[in-house]
Structures are given as C-alpha cells and as structure tokens.
Structure 1
Amino acid sequence: MLKPLYAQYSPRLADLWALGKPRVVSLIVFCAAVGAAMAGPSLDILPNVLASLLGIALVAMGAAAVNCLVERNRDAAMRRTQGRPLVRGSVTVTDAALYAGLLTLSGLWLLASFGNLLACALTLATFFGYAVVYTRWLKPATPQNIVIGGAAGAMPPVLGWAAVSGTVSPEAAVMFLLIYTWTPPHFWALALYRHLDYEKAGLPMLPVTHGAAFTRHTILLYSVMLAAVCVLPFVIGMSGWLYLAVAAWFNAGFVWRSWKLYRSGDEAIARDLFRYSIKYLAWVFGALILDRVVFAIW
C-alpha cells in the first residue's frame, strides 16, 4: 500500500523540491555557513547555528519558489527554463504560492527562535529584495538589474554572521562585497550565451541592450575589480597567506578567462567562465575557513 502512495506523490514532491532551486540554495547556505563560522561560534551554540542555517535555507527556497511563480510566463519563453514545474503545469500556481509561504514562514520562525531578531529581519529583507524588488521590478526594467539586485544575492555571509553574533561587522561587509562584485560577471557570462532566450522573453539583460562586445568588456572590468576586492580579507586581517594564495590563484583564472572572452567572443568561453565562476566562489569562501582552521592549529 505504501509503495503505490510513494509512487503517486514522489514526482509531485520532486517538482516542489525543484521549485526551490536546491542547487542554487546549496551555494547560498554554504556562503552563509562560512559567514557563521568566521564569526567564531562556540560549540555550545552550534545547535542554534545549525537551526539558523536551516532557516536561511528555507527562506532562500521560498524566495526561489516566488521567483519561479512570478517568472513562469517568461520561463515558458526560454529554453533554459521551459522544463520548470510551473511551466510544465506539474505544480499549480496555488500550490507554488502555498509552498513558498510555508517555506518562508518556517525559515523565519527558525531564525527568530534559534538565531536572533537581527538575523531574522535581515533574512526577511533579503527575501523581499530578491523575490519582489529584483524579480518583480528590476529584472524586467533595467540592464543594471544584476548590479542593483545583486545586493540581495550577496547577503548570505552577512546573515550567517548576524545569526551567530547579532551584529554586522566590517568582516561581514567584506564578504558581502566579494559576492556583490562577483555577481555581475557571473550572470553576464550566462547572459552572453543565452542572449536569444533573454531577448525572446523581453528581459533587458546587458547583451540584449548593449551588445556582446560591451558586455565582454564590462565582464573583464568586473573581474579585475573582483581580484582587488578579494585581497580585502587579507588586508583587514580576517585571513592569512593561505587564503591569499588560493584567492590569487582563482582570481588569475577568472581574469584569464574574462580576457579570453573579451578577445574572442566565443560563446563556449562564456559558458566556461560561467561554470568556473561557480567553482570560484565556492573555493574562495572555502579558503576563508581553511585559512582560519590552519591558523588555529598553528
């Protein structure tokens, strides 16, 4: 009896799970966890920290579900997103809205109960910034949507830091700035090889409004700025030489790929840069923790 029930409901649960963009959220939670770890939590509050990170994950998934809900008509026009549950009709609008609301409220409850009010308020503001300000207003309105809306995407380490310390410090601001500077070249690389999708959906992404050559030039400038920003953790003393070495290596790879893209305009290089940028963020943030652990041992 249980097997037929599972067979009946598992595809639906999988579609709801996909609505929350779990792969994107995993990187968000990782950056939030790094922010929490850099704040230096003690072992006695570890359960509260884990509950807070779960709360951040749930709110992030709720925001992703709202994004899918708002953009379902645009998603239908784009090859990359035509397989999403709302586009296929495997999840109804009502179910998606209820799912998003349940995830968001549950996450905020966890943050308020096991974290603190500052972390809860900042997470709620981040939800509003992404699900409403960026998705509903900025994305269809301006080619600077990624630059302005990137503030919401750069918040995870700040949320993790606030959940542990109840404050927002210069160290948290530096981690915010790192992701904020990384966001435009990351998304513009995607937009370069998906520009026809964005044009068809009526979204004013930079390659659509200003052309591929201008976008490639801007990506290169941002990659150089990102390399400079990545030095800040070392400059302010929140990390040491190990982090600096890892960051320098991965920034060299980022700038080199951006330079190749600028010179050639090959969409395959844009695709490679987009994929590299994801690994880049994971490694640079991982290096912050690795440096802290090695320093503590020595």
Structure 2
Amino acid sequence: MISTVSQTPSLPLWKAYLGLCKLRVVGAIVFTAIIGMFLAVPGLPPLQETFWGALGIGLAAASAAALNHVYDREIDGKMGRTEDRPLPQAQLTPREANVFALILAAISMLVLTLLVNPLTAVLTFVSLIGYAVIYTRYLKRITIQNIVIGGAAGAAPPVLGWCAVTGGIHPHALLLFLLIFIWTPPHFWPLALAKKDEYRLADMPMLPVIYGDEVTKLHILGYTILLVIFSLLPYLTGMSGLIYLIAALLLGGGFLYHAIRLKRARDNKLAMRTFGYSLLYLAGIFSALLVDHYLPF
C-alpha cells in the first residue's frame, strides 16, 4: 500500500501523527486522572506511580483518540470542524493510524502493568475499548443516547488515577466518576446543537438531529440540574469541605445560568458559549477538589 502522506507536503509527518492524539482531550483526561491520584492519599501520592500512571493513562487515551480517527474518517470528512484531521486530508493512511494506535496501546499496557499495577492496566484497557470501539464504532451511530452511555469511558480517568496510587477502587473515586459521567451530556449536547447541520450531513443520530433544538435544550437543562445536585455529594459524604462546597455552588450556578439562557433563547447562538463554560466548569470543580483536599476548613 502506498502512503498518501506526500499529498500534504507542508505538514511534517510527526505533526500528522501528533494530530491523531487529540492532545487537548488527552490533557483533560490526564488532568482528571492526576487529581484522582492526589485525592486518593492524605499527603502527596508516590512519585513513581504518579508519573508512570499519568504516562500510561495518557498513552492509552492517545491510542483511543487515534482509533477514533480511523473509525470516524468518513464522518470527519463531511464535517467542517473535523475535515482538517489527518485522515480526511490524506496525511496518513488508516493502516498507518491503526499501527500507531496499537503501538501506543501496547506501550501503555506495559507501563501500567509493570510500573504501576495490573488492576490499573485492566481498567485502562476496558476504558480504551469502551471509548474507541463500543462508543465510537457502534453507539455513536445507532442511538441518540450515545453521549450518555459513552460518557462512562470518559468518566474513568479519576478512577484510574486513584487505582494507580492505591491499587484499588474507593467509593470516593466513584463519586469523581459520577461527576464526569453526569457532566458529559450537558457538555457535549451544546456542541451538537451548534453543529447540528454538520451531524445531519454526516447522518449521525445526535439528539438535536433526531428530536430538534427544544428537546435538546430541555435535556441540557435537566442534566445540568442533576449535575448541580450530584456535585454536592463530595461535601455531603465528607470527602471534601467548605472550599469545595462554595466552588461547586458557584460553578454550578454558572452552569445553570448558561443552560437556562440557552433554553430560553430562540436560536442556538449561545450553544458554543455554554459548551465553553462546561469546560471551565470541569477544570474548576476538580481544581476545587484538589485545593480543598490540602486546605480543608
């Protein structure tokens, strides 16, 4: 098979491979995994498990991202926000992307198994398959609940981080999982709302494509209310203190404000602003957990 990389000579090969990794997404995954590591112990987590755990989880996330590029290459080529990705632009072939993904996955599993612990390796592998295969290849194409169900894979990183430094799973780690799991729909549906026409063109059964704008906005508001309620659990269970509670209420109030404004709007101009705030919310809520962990009162 002849590589088509030469069709875009202006882009170095290493950048094409790097483009498969979705570094922003991987960065968010590693961030929440590291927060899980710090929350798992009363002091500082052990350096070896923290470093190798973050590396292994990050490599697995990059592998899943590369496989996502392979499975979604035809869809990506039909959508404006993804048409510049390496495979639609023929900067790499699907075979090259698959090989790259498998190499990353293999290195990740070796790192986690040999330098962290086997349980973290197994859970990370399950998460990888959940996102790259179950969600990307199947759920995304057959159900409007793809984001809800597929959110489980994206919610795993803090549990993986917790397991990396303790060798087990604690109920508090599952609270972190729950936060991201419930956050995912009101995070992604505003983007789907803003890019509805592109998803329709790609024949993707996203909620706004199948049931329209108003139903989607109602779902966003409903899940945001659920998120605000469930975000109180770390405080109510004694996992965190007042710093986190105040941050959760303020950040949750901001999310509700955006969701309500989006629901009342006659158009979708506020969808991307809501999407942007959801990213700020996730970073803020996990940062608050970390600060509260070391400065409780």
Band the TM-score falls in, shorter-chain normalisation: over 0.9
Structure 1 251/42 Cα, relative in aligned 2: closer, same or farther at 3 Å?
A: closer
Question: Structure 1's 194 and 182: CA in aligned 2 closer, same or farther, altered over 3 A?
Answer: same
Structure 2 unmatched runs, 5+: 1-8
Regions of 4+ moved over 6 Å: none
Q: Give the conservation status (yes or no) of the 8 Å contact 1:41–1:164.
A: no
For the 8 Å contact 1:123–1:159, the answer to whether it is kept is yes
Q: Which residue of 2 aligns with 1:94?
A: 95
Residue 224 of structure 2 is matched in structure 1 by 223
Instruction: Map 1:189-208 to 2 at 5 A.
Output: 189-208=190-209
What's the CA shift string for 1:2-23, capped at 9, x where partnerless?
Answer: xxxxxx8971111111111001
CA contact (8 A) 1:33 1:53 kept: yes
Look up the equivalent residue of 1:145 and give its one-letter code. N
CA distance in 1, matches of 2:220, 2:91: 37
The CA deviation string for residues 165-218 of structure 1, in whole angstroms up to 9 with x for no partner, is 111111011000000000001110000010001000010000001110000001
Give the Å deviation of 1:93: 1.4
265 and 101 in structure 1: CA distance in 2 versus 1, 3 angstrom threshold: farther
Q: Which residue of 1 aligns with 2:31?
A: 30
Q: 5 Å matches for 1:177-192?
A: 177-192=178-193
Decide which moves more: 8-17 or 47-56: 8-17
> What letter matches 2:226 in structure 1?
M
Q: Distance in 2 between matches of 1:219 and 1:43?
A: 37
| Partner of residue 258, structure 2 | 257
Deviation at 1:48, TM superposition (A): 2.3
What is the alpha-carbon distance in structure 1 between the residues aligned to residue 245 and residue 81 of structure 2?
Answer: 36
Alignment RMSD: 1.4
1:44-193 residue pairs with structure 2 within 5 A?
A: 45-193=46-194
Structure 2 counterpart of 1:226, which letter? L
Cα distance in 2 for residues equivalent to 1:213 and 1:44: 46
Query: What is the CA deviation profile of residues 232-281 of structure 1, one whole-angstrom value per residue up to 9, with x for unaligned ones?
Result: 00011111000111111110000010000000143221110001101110
| Cα distance between partner residues in 2 of 1:183 and 1:289 | 21
Shift in CA distance, 63/265, structure 1 to aligned 2, threshold 3 Å: farther
8 Å Cα contact 1:157-1:175 kept in structure 2:
yes
- Larger CA deviation: 263-272 vs 247-256: 263-272
User: SS of the counterpart of 1:84?
Assistant: coil
How many angstroms apart in 2 are the aligned matches of 1:63 and 1:265?
Answer: 37
CA contact (8 A) 2:38 2:44 kept: no
What residue in structure 2 maps to residue 13 of structure 1?
Answer: 14
2:274 corresponds to? 273
SS in 2 for 1:112: helix
The answer to whether the 8 A contact 2:19-2:86 is kept is yes
The CA distance in 1 between the partners of 2:45 and 2:139, in whole Å, is: 42
Structure 2 distance, partners of 1:43, 1:179, is 23
Structure-1 separation of matches of 2:44 and 2:217: 46
Provide the secondary structure at the position in 2 that maps to 1:274.
helix
Other structure's SS at 1:79 match: coil
* Alignment check: 8 A CA contact 1:213 1:265 kept: no
Counterpart of 2:215?
214
For structure 1, list consecutive stretches of 5 or more residues without a partner in the other structure: 1-7
Match of 1:236 in 2: 237
Separation of aligned partners in 2, 1:253 and 1:86: 38
| Count of equivalent residues | 289
CA gap 1:43/1:250 in 2 versus in 1, 3 angstroms: closer
Task: Provide the rounded CA distance (Å) in 1 between the counterparts of 2:100 and 2:82.
Answer: 20
Sort the Cα spacing of 1:43 and 1:260 in 2 relative to 1 into closer, same or farther, 3 A: closer
Secondary structure at the aligned position of 1:224 is classed as: helix
Contact 1:258 1:273 in 2 (8 A): yes
Counterpart Cα distance in 1 of 2:260 and 2:230: 18
Deviation of 1:44 (Å): 7.8
Q: Which is richer in helix? A: 1
Q: How high is the TM-score relative to the length of structure 1?
A: 0.94
Classify 1:45/1:28 alpha carbon distance in 2 versus 1 (closer, same or farther; 3 Å). Answer: same
Identity among equivalent positions (%) equals 43
**1:216 to 1:38, Cα distance in 2 relative to 1, 3 A:** same
